[in-house]
Chain A
């Protein structure tokens, strides 16, 4: 089945540094990539939606200059948390929608990245 590879699985960084998270679709073309954030015991909250070759659409309350999303190819999307602070510590997860899922609501999730900012 379709696989989305997300790296790194976990990262610990100092406050003020930037962290890049990658999601790759391994056997399909991801026309749309969704980025979510999940705090402990809370639901996955959509941060932004990106379509290949276009600027990402951010949800209300998500700072686009802080969470940089790049979706330059149909198999790779990245999320960069710039100038990370302890309150950015969270579980970040991507999900991909490919061309063959147009009539199928199924999304394919990456395995998630646990970010801890000291």
Chain B
């Protein structure tokens, strides 16, 4: 079982739609979580950190449920420019400092 698992998608949605991505993690040693965005053959870019209290950044809302080991990302009012792969990432800082990447969920926003 992968340490961070995501639905690969793709999610194909019309502009303006609301879309939600889910992610589960299996290692409770992961202390912090993030959503990254990656365009094709580009470096990942940090979208937002994820907290148990939930956090919002414009059209993006992220939530962490430690009891269920579940992370979510909600995108409202989708734009064409939101088309990308969204990576769920856990950070372990036990014996080492290590980012654990999910394989990503692909989002396609159509006109």
Contact residue among A32, A49, A114 (Cβ-Cβ distance under 8 Å from B41): A114
Interface residues on A, range: 20 to 34
**Separation of A106 and B43 alpha carbons in the complex (Å):** 14
The B contact surface, by secondary structure, is strand
The A contact surface, by secondary structure, is strand
**Separation of A42 and B100 alpha carbons in the complex (Å):** 13
**CB atoms of A49 and B101 under 8 A apart:** no
**CB atoms of A106 and B46 under 8 A apart:** yes
A33 to chain B, nearest CB (A): 12
Say yes or no: is B72 at the interface (Cβ < 8 Å to chain A): no
Smallest CB-CB separation from A36: which chain B residue? B101
Which A residues are in CB contact (< 8 Å) with B102?
A: 43
Given contacts A43-B102, A43-B104, 20 further A-B contacts (CB under 8 A): A34-B99, A41-B104, A43-B87, A43-B101, A43-B103, A44-B99, A44-B101, A57-B96, A91-B41, A93-B44, A95-B99, A105-B34, A106-B46, A107-B99, A109-B43, A109-B45, A111-B43, A112-B41, A112-B42, A114-B41
Q: How many residues of B are counted as interface, with CB atoms below 8 angstroms from the partner's CB atoms?
A: 23
**CB atoms of A93 and B34 under 8 A apart:** no
Which A residues are in CB contact (< 8 Å) with B14?
A: none
Say yes or no: is B98 at the interface (Cβ < 8 Å to chain A): yes
